[in-house]
Amino acid sequence: MYSQLVEVSVSASVTEAAVPALPRLCSVEVAAELLGIGRTATYDEIRLGRLRTVRRGRRRLVPVEWIDEYVELLKHEADTAA
């Protein structure tokens, strides 16, 4: 799904201006794909408060910064468990 939204190949000759900006908010489904986990698991993490979201009307969206924050949480948990 996300791969359909953005297909960018970056090489040394491409400047940053030529690379399209990624959206700052994404759907839960896109967040799940970026994280490599299922939709249900993503909603479970949201319900547990481990992955934060914002509401825009009836939609639940995940800021990309919070996806990065969630990944850092997972890395910290992995380091602590080891």
Structure confidence by residue, pLDDT tens digits, 27-66: 999 999 999 999 999 999 999 999 999 999 999 999 999 9
- Asked if residue 68 is part of any domain, the answer here is yes
pLDDT of 14 over the 70 cut: no
Residue numbers of the domain that contains 71: 24-81
- Asked if residue 50 is part of any domain, the answer here is yes
Residues 6+ apart with CB under 8 A from 78: none
| Domains identified in the chain, total number | 1
Mark residue 14 as left, alpha or beta (left: phi above 0; alpha: psi -120 to 50; beta: remaining).
beta
In this structure, are strands 59-63 and 25-27 parallel, antiparallel, or unpaired?
antiparallel
DSSP 36: T
Instruction: Give φ, ψ of 56 to 5 degrees.
Output: -130, 95
- Asked if residue 47 is part of any domain, the answer here is yes
- Asked if residue 44 is part of any domain, the answer here is yes
- Asked if residue 63 is part of any domain, the answer here is yes
Q: What band does 21 get if pLDDT is binned at 50, 70 and 90?
A: confident
Q: What is the pLDDT of residue 22?
A: 72
- Asked if residue 62 is part of any domain, the answer here is yes
pTM for the whole structure: 0.72
DSSP 23: P
